[in-house]
């Protein structure tokens, strides 16, 4: 029951008129969600079990086909790799941002934001140029003597992982920075004074305190990677399809709404399950340990 404090400080239930006014304020938002999210999902669910024939045939076909299972595997493997690599790169960057002087932090933030605001197609085409066999990266590796012949870095999952990691990095750096900058530096100093070495300060103090930011950033990157379309389609080639490309092919090329709906709902269920797990284990933790 909704409550408020009266003049004496006692907790009392909110008046009915005030509760009704508050509920009326959120009605437009609820109507928007119902019309533009819940209704399309419900239609998609119906079409996945009604077309072309009623039943669970579309889901059985998805699970029983080795081709579709490979696409699911590609999607989850690439999303997992992108998440792990983004965490490994993003954590030191977020930590550096938190301890840097303000002016330098502003410059790096400007670079991050400009990267996010640049057109996604332009960024992906730039990586196509860099990763091709005659691209800058292969030329640098050959020039440094690290390889003898160009590496295959595009039209495969390696190129997809590299390109998506670059695009996802800001989405893990920003939440991590928000959490790390709230950590009291005296906490690490106290751990050092108590005899903890640098590794122990990192693993027993800093990482646990930064866990809410790591979990939020990792979940965001993983979920976004599951449904990414542009970068995998341009850098992965037709032989390394991911789930978003499969859904687009079902709907646009094959006009098979039943299979497209089934694949989309599998993606939605996975996303909601991951969100529930995140809420269960880290959702109630206090960011920054304060």
What digits encode the pLDDT tens for the residues 123-170? 899 999 999 888 899 999 999 988 888 999 888 999 999 999 999 999
| Beta-bridge partner residues of 33 | none
> Does a cis peptide bond (omega within 30 degrees of 0) precede residue 63?
no
Confidence of residue 1 (pLDDT cuts 50, 70, 90): very low
Could you say which DSSP state residue 154 is in? S
> Looking at the predicted structure, is the pLDDT value of residue 6 above 60?
no
Q: Which helix (H) or strand (E) holds 5?
A: strand 3-5
d(CA 63, CA 67): 10
Among 46-50, 88-92, 254-258, 285-289, the range scoring the smallest mean pLDDT is 285-289
- Residue 232 near residue 167, CB atoms below 8 Å: no
Domain 42-284 classification at class level: mainly alpha
| Rounded (10°) CA dihedral 213, 216, 217, 218 | 120
């Amino acid at each position: 029951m909704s409550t408020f404090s009266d003049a004496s400080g006692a907790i009392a239930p909110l008046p009915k008129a005030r509760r009704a006014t508050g509920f009326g304020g959120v009605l437009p938002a609820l109507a928007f969600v119902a019309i533009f999210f819940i209704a399309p999902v419900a239609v998609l669910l119906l079409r996945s079990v009604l077309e072309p024939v009623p039943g669970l045939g579309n889901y059985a076909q998805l699970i029983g086909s080795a081709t579709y299972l490979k696409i699911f595997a590609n999607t989850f493997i690439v999303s997992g790799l992108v998440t792990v690599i983004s965490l490994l790169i993003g954590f030191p960057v977020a930590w550096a941002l938190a301890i840097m002087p303000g002016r330098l932090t502003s410059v790096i933030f400007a670079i991050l934001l400009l990267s996010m605001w640049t057109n996604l197609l332009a960024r992906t085409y730039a990586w196509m140029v860099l990763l091709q066999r005659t691209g800058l990266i292969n030329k640098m590796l050959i020039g440094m003597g690290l390889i003898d012949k160009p590496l295959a870095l595009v039209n495969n999952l390696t190129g997809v992982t590299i390109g998506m990691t670059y695009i996802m990095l800001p989405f893990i750096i920003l939440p991590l920075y928000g959490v790390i900058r709230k950590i009291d530096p005296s906490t690490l100093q106290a751990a050092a004074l108590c005899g903890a070495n640098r590794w122990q300060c990192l693993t027993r103090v800093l990482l646990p305190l930064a866990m809410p930011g790591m979990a939020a950033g990792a979940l965001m990157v993983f979920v976004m990677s599951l449904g990414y379309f542009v970068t995998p389609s341009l850098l992965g080639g037709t032989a390394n399809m991911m789930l978003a490309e499969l859904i687009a092919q079902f709907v646009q090329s094959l006009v098979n709404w039943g299979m497209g709906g089934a694949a989309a709902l599998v993606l939605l269920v996975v996303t909601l399950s991951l969100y529930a797990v995140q809420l269960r284990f880290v959702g109630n933790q206090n960011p920054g340990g304060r």
